[in-house]
A and B are shown apart, each in its own frame.
Chain A
Amino acid sequence: MSNMLSTGISGLSAAQVALNTVSNNISNVNTPGYNMQVVRQTESITQTNSSYTIGSGVNVVAVQRAYSSFLTSALWSSNSSLQRATTYNDLATTLNSSLSASGDLQGSLDSFYSTFSTVANSPSDTSGRQALLGSASALTQVFNTLGQQLTQQQGQVNGQISSTVNSINSVLSNIANVNQQINQSSGTGQPNALLDQRDALISTLSGYLGVTAVSEKNGTVSVYSSSGQALVNGNISYPLSTAGSTYDPTTPDVYTSAGSDITSSVSGGTLGALLDYRSNVLNPIQNQLGQAAVALASSVNAQQAQGLDLKGQQGAAIFSVPSPTVLSAAGNQGTATVAASISNVSQLTASDYNLSYNGTQWNLQTTGGQSVSLTTNADGSLSADGLTFNITGAAQAGDSYQIQPTRHAATGIAVSMTDPSGIAAAAALATSPASSNAGTATAGAISVTDSSNAALLSNATITFTSANAYQVTDSGGAVLASGAYTAGQPITANGWSVPVSGTPAAGDSFSVAANTNGLNDNSNALTLAALANRGVLAGGGTSVLSAYASITTQIGTVGSQATTNLTTQTSLNNQAVSAQQSVSGVNLDEEAAKLVNFQQAYQASAQIISASQTIFSSLLSAVQAR
């Protein structure tokens, strides 16, 4: 009898536990990170009689989570990839729309070059020259705006890196706390809520960076970054930190609590995306845009120097660009100062470089790790990839410097010319044959080969001492050059070169002088206008405009790849979530069925108690009636 009662009570309480669990499942149907709970019940140990056994009810062994550690860690890893793709796509989209909203660089370049044609069409007209300076400053503004957009994004990315590291650290310490609570509560049954909380925290963490979680025997979980650094061990967390990079205190790098720099090894999650984007998209694009700005400035300025302005002076520079940035490493011991300058634009690359001293010699590497050989110049300076380094002071072994040749050129390019008459439309030099010339020799177009020659515009005379020998003399009669004359071969002196053809008679001469009586000439302006299509970069194969076109294509490719990758990662993540939810998610229809089921079980168990009472009372009444 008492047996029947206790069996009924065990059923009643088991159904109660089950009903509570169902209620909990239903109320948490929309709770993120909640894992469906199920009741595990077993038969009670039976009492044995000599000849038969009767069951003695049900035992609730545990309330467990419907959980697959395999599916959950797959979810974390796909979440890492998804967050990486999302952040990367956000950055690339911003970059693409800021590129299209920052003004039309192609249009500005074309209108700048075409104003040289306008000047060429009427070289002495001031309005055309004024328009040229106007279009030059419009062009530099577009460069500046583009450059500033990139600098701004760099600032945003750097800010996000720091804030993401802060978020990571707070999640890490929460995980450590939950670990401790789980450890303390071990032995008191499954702490389902704490386990769910810890899983949710790890999932959040996986969105910030790629992680792996390893379960320990004591119920705690150790968390490692994808590159193997321990982040949480039991109840201890190892926070990450940000600090200025070796060369640039304004650019945050990521360090472990042990102090090692893991900037280049972090992968996955928001942080991985930010670091990857900064070093593989933003820095190269900034450098390439700067490279285009340097190419523009140096090609225009060099051609300017080969002509005469409206005042008869050698053309001055139209643009100014900042010189390469040199950053010295934080731990440098020596007193050396490195100054870098651009000596050959056609060899210039978009890389940044590290220049280091090993105690005996200097070595140059790109920041990508490729070695670049240095040439020593006559004046002791070093040259490589179109750059020249002047080193003063004494360096110690291990000292190093980072060189960013074109990083700030786009933001810093400016128009340095203010006077429109300074535009050098006319050719610098003119030749004229002596009126007494008896031979048939004629001088071709004279060209400037070295615009930095101080005597470029000085008067000079080419005299043929015989039909096959010439000498060049200055106004004082000193011989500047002499040699054998070959028809069609150029004669050079003072930084100019002039081809002479025909047969000269002995004593024939040509005078070379500044083209001051030809200031309405437009030949240099025509050459300046033709710079629009002149290859300036990459050994003379890439014009400023095609450099810009390739930057555009590159930015576009980054954007479209990021979008494609996001789509892929989203569907992979959907699959992972579906798989995990198929095990751990709450289905309301299922819970409704269980509710009815357990309700009936409860009612039936109650009926057992009521039956045992009826039996007992009928026994009692039988005894009393006697």
Chain B
Amino acid sequence: MRVSTSWMYQQSVNTMQNQQSALAATQNQVSTGKRINVASDDPGGAGQMISLNHIMAANTQYSANMDSANTRLSTEQTALSSVSSLYNSVRSMAIQGINSTLSRSDRNDMATQLTQLRDQLVQLANTNDSNGSALFAGTSTTTLPFVASGTGAVSYTGNESTQMATAGPGLQIATSDPGSGLFMNIPAGNGTFTASAGAANAGSLIVGANSVSDPVAWSSANASSGGGYTITFAAGGSWTAADANGNPVLDSGGNPVGGTYQNGGSISFNGMTVALSGTPSAGDTVGIQSGGTQDVFTTLNNMIGALQGNSTGTQLANTLSRQMESLDQAAGAVTSTEVSVGGRMNTISTQQSAYQDLGVTYKAALSSVQNVDVYTAISNLSSQSASLQASQQVFAKVSSMSLFNYIK
């Protein structure tokens, strides 16, 4: 085939230009370390990079959310353990009040101490998180959710909601617990019912531990009678029980329940058991009330009131043991919340380590999409520069050849 001289030169130039641009592209890959510098380098890979970067950004954010949730939850944990130990102090003081004979001044000292503990409890209940928001206010913006009045009664101005944090797609973790459940809506008595000695009792009867021993019988009886009973003692410890309407409580056989109580024994009917100690006088009563709530501040105030008042002996013991029962319910609420907070913190730490592992995986995936294989790139670079040099040498050789050189 004929070859025109100018086209021969042009083609050599074209070849060298192509080699040079391929060389420049490889050089760019080596110097940036990236295979994809603009989307057209690998359109599918560029789209994949966006998804991977997005997942990584989301995971980073989940980790940040969990860090913040963790801070809040550990603040809560600290506050709750302080509350627990405060309850323990109150409890030991109450036991002291029940078991020992106290002088007037001893009781006053005890009341003063309890007042201090109550004020401290209000303070603990108003604990702030690291951002200055009240920890136990639910989602209310108030900074003082628990407000004590002059009489010592405490009201709650927060709400019942919980703040959540997102710990993963579809996984939300509560970062706080509303103070209403922790301090205010504490079930009265043993959590199901309250058994309390009548205020006018003359004997030495003290109501002790009481509980629902047969939940099925309790709830069926409760449904029909409303759950309010009065146990009335006659002489010699014999007792009868009446429901809220004054009608005798009947057993499954249709006979009125009743029996004879002995010091240290217990009375059971309708699925509940009430342990008693001491000796009742004739006409003494024990009232049983189901449901109801009593906040922990009222519990403390009741104790303080009883210690400051004139009642002593059996009456004081009855009051204190009723309040202790309520305190145990409050302590139970704190303990179960502590357990739940611990569980949430555990979830967070599991999630966090999962995200760390995932982060490594996604980084590796991103790097395999985005980064150039350095060995391949450098070997390309040297082979491309070798072929460019070869083209240049060939050009120098060919361009020196012409018939005109030989025509003299």
The answer to whether A596 touches B166 (Cβ under 8 A) is no
| B57 pairs with A111, CB closer than 8 A | yes
The reply to whether A526 and B4 contact each other, CB–CB distance below 8 Å, is no
Q: Is there a chain B Cβ closer than 8 Å to A130's Cβ?
A: no
- Check if B223 is an interface residue, CB within 8 A of chain A: no
Does A456 interact with chain B (Cβ within 8 Å)?
A: no
Q: Say whether B396 faces chain A, with CB atoms less than 8 Å apart.
A: no
- The yes or no answer to A345 lying at the interface (CB within 8 A) is no
Residues of chain B lying within 8 A (CB to CB) of residue A533: 58, 169
B137 in the interface (beta carbon within 8 A): yes
Instruction: Give CA–CA (A519, B143) in the complex, Å.
Output: 12
Which of A56-64, A120-128, A404-412 forms contacts with chain B? A120-128
A93 is an interface residue with CB less than 8 A from chain B:
yes
- Tell me whether A574 and B14 are in contact (CB under 8 A): yes
* Smallest CB separation, B52 vs chain A (Å): 10
| Contacting pair B65 A583 (CB below 8 A) | no
The residues in A between 82 and 115 inclusive whose CB is less than 8 angstroms from any CB of B are 92-93, 96-97, 99-100, 106-107, 109-111, 113-114
Give CA–CA (A559, B42) in the complex, Å: 9
Q: Is B139 an interface residue (CB 8 A)?
A: yes
Kindly list chain A residues whose C-beta atoms are within 8 Å of the C-beta of B158.
517
Question: What are the interface flags for A541-573 relative to B under an 8 Å C-beta threshold, 1 for contact and 0 otherwise?
Answer: 000011011101111111110110000000000
Q: Report the stretch among A137-145, A334-342, A586-594 that lies at the interface.
A: A586-594
Which chain A residues lie closer than 8 Å to B43 at the CB level? Answer: 552-557, 559-560
* Complex-state Cα separation, A15 to B72, whole angstroms: 105
Which residues of chain A from 15 to 33 have a CB within 8 Å of any chain B CB? Answer: 29-30
Within 8 A of A (CB), among B210-248: none
Residues in A neighbouring B123, C-beta threshold 8 A: none
A602 CB, nearest partner CB in chain B, Å: 15
Residues of chain B within 8 A of A120, CB atoms compared: 65, 164-166
Do A586 and B140 touch (CB < 8 A)? no
B354 at the interface (CB under 8 A from A): no
Q: How far is the CB of A486 from chain B (nearest CB, A)?
A: 24
Q: Are B133 and A552 in contact (CB under 8 A)?
A: no
A113 vs chain B, min Cβ distance (A): 8
A560 is contacted by which of B37, B40, B163 (Cβ under 8 Å)? B40
Cα distance A595–B403 in the bound complex, in angstroms:
11
| CB-based nearest B residue for A118 | B64
Return chain A residues, CB-CB under 8 Å to B61: 110, 113-114, 117, 529
Q: Is A267 an interface residue (CB 8 A)?
A: no
B47 A124 Cβ-Cβ under 8 A: no
Known: A30-B6, A518-B139, A581-B4. A556 touches B41 (CB 8 A): yes
Contact between chains at A582 and B65 (CB < 8 Å): no
- Give CA–CA (A310, B140) in the complex, Å: 11
Residue contact A549 to B51, C-beta cutoff 8 Å: yes
Given contacts A121-B68, A430-B159, A520-B133, contact A582 B4 (CB under 8 A): yes
Q: CB distance B141 to A520 under 8 Å? A: yes
Residue numbers in A under 8 Å from B363 (CB-CB): none
Contact residue among B7, B68, B138 (Cβ-Cβ distance under 8 Å from A585): B7
A532 CB–B CB distance under 8 Å: yes
**Residues of A contacting B69 in the complex (Cβ-Cβ under 8 angstroms):** 121
- Contact bitstring B380-406, A, C-beta under 8 A = 1, else 0: 000000000000000000000011100
The answer for the CA separation of A554 and B50 in the assembled complex, in Å, is 13
Give min CB distance, B228 to chain A, whole Å: 15
- The CA of A521 and the CA of B50, in the complex, are separated in Å by 32
Hey, which chain A residues are within 8 Å of B140, CB to CB? 517-520
B contact residues, total (Cβ < 8 Å):
54
Give Cα A560–Cα B3 distance, bound, in whole angstroms.
Answer: 33
Q: Which of A92, A121, A530, A574 contacts B11 (CB 8 A)?
A: A574
The residue on B at minimum CB distance from A589 is B403
Contacts A111-B57, A117-B65; is A586 near B39 (CB within 8 Å)? no
With A30-B6, A556-B46, A559-B39: A588-B139 Cβ-Cβ less than 8 Å: no
Residues in A with CB closer than 8 Å to B37 are 100
Report A414-463 residues with CB < 8 Å from chain B CB.
426, 430, 432
A121 to B7 CA separation, bound complex (whole angstroms) = 71
B2 cross-chain contacts in A, Cβ below 8 A: 581-583, 585, 587, 590
Q: Do residues B50 and A552 form an inter-chain contact, with CB atoms below 8 A?
A: yes
Q: Which of B45-73 contact A (CB under 8 A)?
A: 46-47, 50-51, 53-54, 57-58, 60-61, 64-65, 68-69
Report which of B3, B11, B39 forms a contact with A96, defined as CB distance below 8 A: B39
Say yes or no: is A148 at the interface (Cβ < 8 Å to chain B): no
Asked if residues A526 and B6 are in contact (CB atoms below 8 Å), the reply is: no
A523 contacts the other chain (CB 8 A)? yes
- 8 Å CB contacts to A: which residues of B147-199? 157-161, 163-166, 169, 172
B6 touches A586 (CB 8 A): yes
Residues from chain A with Cβ under 8 Å of B166 in the complex = 117, 120, 526, 529-530
Nearest B residue to A106, CB-CB? B50
For the complex, what is the distance from the CA of A588 to the CA of B402, rounded to whole Å? 8
Nearest Cβ on chain B to A72's Cβ, whole angstroms: 14
List residues of A (255-314) whose CB comes within 8 Å of B's CBs.
310
In the complex, A577 has a CB within 8 A of chain B: yes
A578 within 8 Å of B (CB atoms)? yes
For the complex, give the distance between the alpha carbons of A530 and B402 in Å.
75
CB distance from B116 to the nearest CB of A (A): 30
Which A residues are CB-close (under 8 A) to B163? 123, 520-522
Q: Which residues of B contact A581 (CB under 8 A)?
A: 2-4, 6-7
Minimum CB–CB distance for A3 against chain B, Å: 34
- Chain A residues contacting B141 (CB-CB under 8 Å) are 124, 310, 519-520
Nearest A residue to B44 by beta-carbon distance?
A553
Closest chain B residue, CB of each to CB of A593? B403
Q: Answer whether residue B5 sits at the interface, using C-beta atoms and an 8 A cutoff.
A: yes
Q: Are A532 and B6 in contact, CB atoms less than 8 angstroms apart?
A: no
Shortest distance in angstroms between A135's beta carbon and chain B's nearest beta carbon? 12
B257 CB to nearest A CB, Å: 27
Bound CA–CA A111/B54 (angstroms): 10
Beta-carbon contact of A29 and B42 below 8 Å: no
- Residues on B with beta carbons closer than 8 Å to the beta carbon of A515: 139
Bound-state Cα–Cα, A97 to B64, Å: 34
CB distance from A309 to the nearest CB of B (A): 12
Partner of B39, one of A100, A123, A545: A100
Contacts of B4 in A (CB 8 A): 36, 581-582, 584-587
Q: Does B407 contact A (CB under 8 A)?
A: yes
Of B11, B166, B172, most buried by chain A (CB within 10 Å of CB) is B166
Contacts of B40 in A (CB 8 A): 92-93, 96, 555-560, 562-563
A517 and B6 CA atoms in complex are apart in Å by 87
Checking A29, A552, A592 against B46 with a beta-carbon cut-off of 8 angstroms, the contacting residue is A552
Measured CB to CB, the nearest residue on chain A to B138 is A518
Chain A nearest CB from B63 CB (Å) reads 11
Question: How far is A592 from B40 in the complex, measured between Cα atoms in Å?
Answer: 49
Contact across chains for B131 and A577 when beta carbons are under 8 A apart:
no
Find chain B residues with CB under 8 A from A546 CB: 51
B68 touches A550 (CB 8 A): no
Report the separation of the CA atoms of residues A593 and B2 in the bound assembly, to the nearest whole angstrom: 14
Contact partners of B407 in chain A: CB under 8 A: 592, 595-596
Chain B 344-367 interface mask (CB, 8 Å, partner A; 1/0) = 000000000000000000000000
Chain A residues within 8 Å of B200, by CB = none
Residues of A close to B157: CB separation below 8 A: 517
Q: Shortest distance in angstroms between A91's beta carbon and chain B's nearest beta carbon? A: 12
Q: Write the chain A residue with the least CB distance to B45.
A: A556
Closest to A577 in B: B7
Q: Which residues of B contact A593 (CB under 8 A)?
A: 403
Per-residue contact bits, chain B 1-27, to A (CB 8 Å; 1 contact, 0 not): 111111100010010000000000000
Please name the 8 residue pairs, one residue from A and one from B, whose CB atoms are nearest each other, closest first: A585-B4, A559-B40, A556-B43, A556-B39, A521-B139, A110-B57, A553-B47, A592-B403
Please name 19 further chain A to chain B contacts, defined as beta carbons within 8 Å, in addition to the given A93-B40, A123-B163, sorted by A numbering: A29-B5, A100-B39, A106-B50, A107-B53, A110-B54, A114-B58, A114-B60, A121-B68, A310-B141, A518-B138, A519-B141, A520-B141, A552-B47, A553-B44, A556-B40, A581-B7, A585-B4, A585-B7, A595-B407
Q: List 8 A-B contacts (CB under 8 A).
A: A30-B6, A520-B141, A522-B139, A529-B166, A553-B43, A553-B47, A574-B14, A578-B11
